[in-house]
Amino acid sequence: QLKYLDSLFDMAHAKKKLEGSGSTITEKEVDKSISREDKDAFAMLHGFSGHSLNKSGYNWVSGSFFQTLFGMCQAASTAT
């Protein structure tokens, strides 16, 4: 949920999604239509959500997870 919340306030992410959707609106038109105050508010909220996301343990997966997962798969395949 934090990752989703972070993406809501990320202007670069929103522009990429808009570009990928086949919309006829350009990035320049988006930039013109959003006021400076709104851009600042989005940047601040994106900073807050990004900070919370970085503090959260759910934002990354430990390398040992993959070693354990694929180690078990490898052991199972050599046992058969």
How many independent structural domains does the chain possess?
Answer: 1
- Report whether pLDDT(2) > 60: yes
Residue 79 in any domain: the answer is no
Question: How high does pLDDT run on average in the chain?
Answer: 81
- For residue 80, tell me if it sits in a domain: no
Is position 77 within any domain?
A: no
43-79: pLDDT as tens digits: 999 999 888 888 877 666 666 777 777 776 666 666 6
Q: Is the pTM of this model over 0.85?
A: no
The confidence score (pLDDT) of residue 79 equals 60
Q: What is the pLDDT of residue 77?
A: 64
CB count in 10 Å sphere of residue 6:
21
Half-sphere exposure of residue 30: CA atoms within 13 angstroms, side-chain side: 15
Is 78 a domain residue? no
Question: Which is nearest to 15 in space by CA: 6, 3, 27?
Answer: 27
> Which residues span the domain enclosing 31?
1-70
Q: Residue 43 is inside which H or E element, if any? A: helix 36-55
